[in-house]
Amino acid sequence: MDQLILEDSQYIKSELKESGAYTTLYCEAVDKLRKEIKDKKIEFFSLGGKSRELNDDLIWYEINSSKEVYSNYASISKATFYTSHYIGFYSTIINGKTIDIIIKPRFGNESGIFNYLLSYAYGVYLPKGTSSSKNEKTDNLWLLAILYKATFNKAITKSQIPKEYKKMQKNLHTFKGQLHISKHIEENLFDKSKFYCTYRKLTMDVTINQTIRYVYKLLKQKGFSSLFKDMGEYDQMLQSFGVQDKKIRLNDIQNIKYTKLNIYYKKLMELATLLLKNSSKSSDMNATNNESFAYFLDMAQLWEDYLLKVLQKNLPEYYIYSPNDKGGVALFEDGSRTIRPDIIIEKDGEVIAILDAKYKFYKQIGRIEKYGIGRDDLYQMTTYLYHYGKNDKEIVGLFISPVADIENNSKKLMSNKNHKIGVVNLNIDQFSEKKLGGSSNEAIKEEEKKFIEKIKKELQNDPI
C-alpha cells in the first residue's frame, strides 16, 4: 500500500511529488477517481441540510517530467498535484497495488483549527488529537469517525431514541391483541388457561439502535475509544432497553424505513454505511479486487456553517439565516431557476446584507494575482443585491474568506450608490502553523471579535 497525502486548497500552493514508479500510479489513481466522480460512484457526505454535487475538480495534476518506457506507455517521474476545497479519502487498486489518496484539512492537524470549526458549527466535542490519526491503519478512518460523532450528537439532540411497533406472537395467560386461531389450537388444545395471541409491541430493538451499538464497538476496536468515550453510557442505556448487540450488514441499513420520528438518524445511518464499507474494504482488498472506496467532505460548507453560527451568536439584534436551508428563492416569475446566497442579514424585516462565505484566498475586490474576487463571484453578488435590495435602501454584499484581507471597506456600485460590495475576512489562516492553546482557543475567539466589529461597522454604514 502506498499513500499520496495532500491538503485541501492546494490550487494555490501545489504539491510536487517525485517518487519514481509510484508517481505514475498516483496519477492513474487520480484519473480513476475523477472518472468515478463523473460516473457518480463516489460518496459525498454533507453534515448540513444542503445537498451539493461532488465535482471532478476535487483533485488534478500536471506532469513535470516523464520518460517513455514502451512505445505506447510513459512513466511519470515528477508531477504536481492540486486539490480544491474537499477533504477525505480514496483507496483503489492500480496495477495490482493499493493506492490511497488522503486529503487533509490545510488548517493543520496540530493547530486544532479543523476541530474548532467542526465543534463550533455542529456542536460536537472533540478531544485533542482527533483531527487525524498517527496510526496509518486507521488514518483513512479519522474523518469518518469525527463526522459520525458530530452526526450522532445532532441526531440525539433533535430526536428521541428510535422505536417502532413490531408484530409479536406469544402464548400468554392474558388475552392481548388478536387470537392466532391455528397456533392457539395447536399449543393450547389441552390447556385452557392460555391464549396464543398476535399483537404489536413498542420496542427500541430496531435496526437504527442496533447499528449505533455495532458501529460504537467497531470504532472502539479501530482505536477511537477516547473520541467515543461519552458514547459508552448511551450504549449501556440501549442495552438496558433490550437493543441487541449484533452484527449489522449493509442490507440491514438499506432496508430502514424513515418516518418523521427517526428522520434525524438518516445521515447517521449513511455514515454507518460508509464505516461498514470501509471495514469490509480493509478486510477484502487484494490485488484482484478492483473496487474503490471513498468519501469526501466539503470544507467550503463547513466554513459557511461555522460563519453562520458565529454571526448568529454575536449579532442577536439582527435576524441572520441561510436561505439554502429552504432551497433558495426563485429568480423568475414562473418559479424557474433559484438563487441561493449563503447568509442573509435582516433588520426590521428588511434585507440589509448578503454574505458570501468563500473558502478561498480572496483578500480584496480588485484583481491582484490570485487573491482578488473572481469575476463570476462578483457578478453573482451583484445579482443578489439587485434581487434582495431596494433602490432607495442601503444593502451591502460581503465576501468572507479565512485569510487576512487587504482592504475591508466596501465600495459603492456605479449603478446604485445604495448598493455596496466589500471584503470582510475572518483570518484563521494565521493559526495554521501554530497550535491553539487551551480548550478555550482564546486566539481564534479574539479574531472572531475583530471580525464581528468589522461586520457591525458595515451594517451601521460606518467607515472602517
Cα–Cα dist 335/329, whole Å: 8
pLDDT at 287: 40
How many Å apart are CA 371 and CA 406, to the nearest integer?
9
User: At 334, is the secondary structure helix, strand, or coil?
Assistant: coil
Strand order in the sheet with 293-298: 2-7, 97-104, 86-94, 293-298, 43-45
pLDDT confidence of residue 456: 94
Q: Indicate the DSSP class of residue 435.
A: P
**Cβ–Cβ < 8 Å for 307, 353:** no
Nearest CA-CA partner of 227 in 305, 152, 140, 279: 152
* pLDDT value for 286: 46
CA 256 vs. chain centroid, Å, equals: 22
Closest of 221, 274, 229, 252 to residue 88, by C-alpha: 274
| pLDDT score for 67 | 63
Q: CB of 269 within 8 A of CB of 249?
A: no
Sequential pLDDT tens for the chain (464 residues): 588 888 888 776 544 555 556 888 899 999 999 999 888 887 666 666 555 666 668 899 888 877 655 555 667 878 888 898 888 888 888 888 889 898 888 876 555 788 888 888 887 666 655 554 444 445 568 888 888 888 898 888 888 899 988 888 889 888 888 888 888 988 888 888 899 999 888 889 999 999 999 999 999 998 888 888 889 999 999 999 999 999 999 999 999 999 988 998 998 998 899 888 877 765 544 444 557 888 888 888 899 999 999 999 999 999 999 987 666 677 776 767 777 899 999 999 999 999 999 998 888 887 666 678 888 899 999 999 988 888 888 999 999 999 998 866 788 888 888 899 999 999 998 887 665 555 457 888 999 999 999 999 999 876 55
Q: Under a CB-based contact definition with an 8 Å cutoff, are residues 150 and 124 in contact?
A: yes
The SS3 assignment for 34 reads helix
Neighbouring-strand partners of residue 97: 94
Q: Which residues, including other chains, have CB under 8 Å from residue 381's CB and lie 6 or more apart?
A: 354, 356, 397, 399, 421
In 117-264 the beta strands, taken as DSSP E runs, fall at 164-172, 178-179, 195-203
Cα 273 from Cα 215, distance rounded (Å): 10
d(CA 351, CA 74): 57
Where are the domains positioned within the chain?
Answer: 2-160+207-300, 164-203, 315-459
Q: Which residues contact 187 (CB under 8 A, 6 or more apart)?
A: 171, 194, 196
Task: Output DSSP code: residue 162.
Answer: P
| Cell representation of residue 209 | 439502535
Q: What is the pTM of this model?
A: 0.79
- Residue 187 pLDDT: 85
The H or E element containing residue 297 is: strand 293-298
Rounded distance between C-alpha atoms, residue 436 and residue 424, angstroms? 23
Say what the pLDDT of residue 285 is: 44
* Strand duo 195-203 + 395-400: pairing: unpaired
Helix ranges, 326-462 (H): 375-388, 442-459
Contact 391, 381 (CB under 8 A): no
- Residue owning grid cell 459508552: 232
> What does the pLDDT read at residue 408?
65
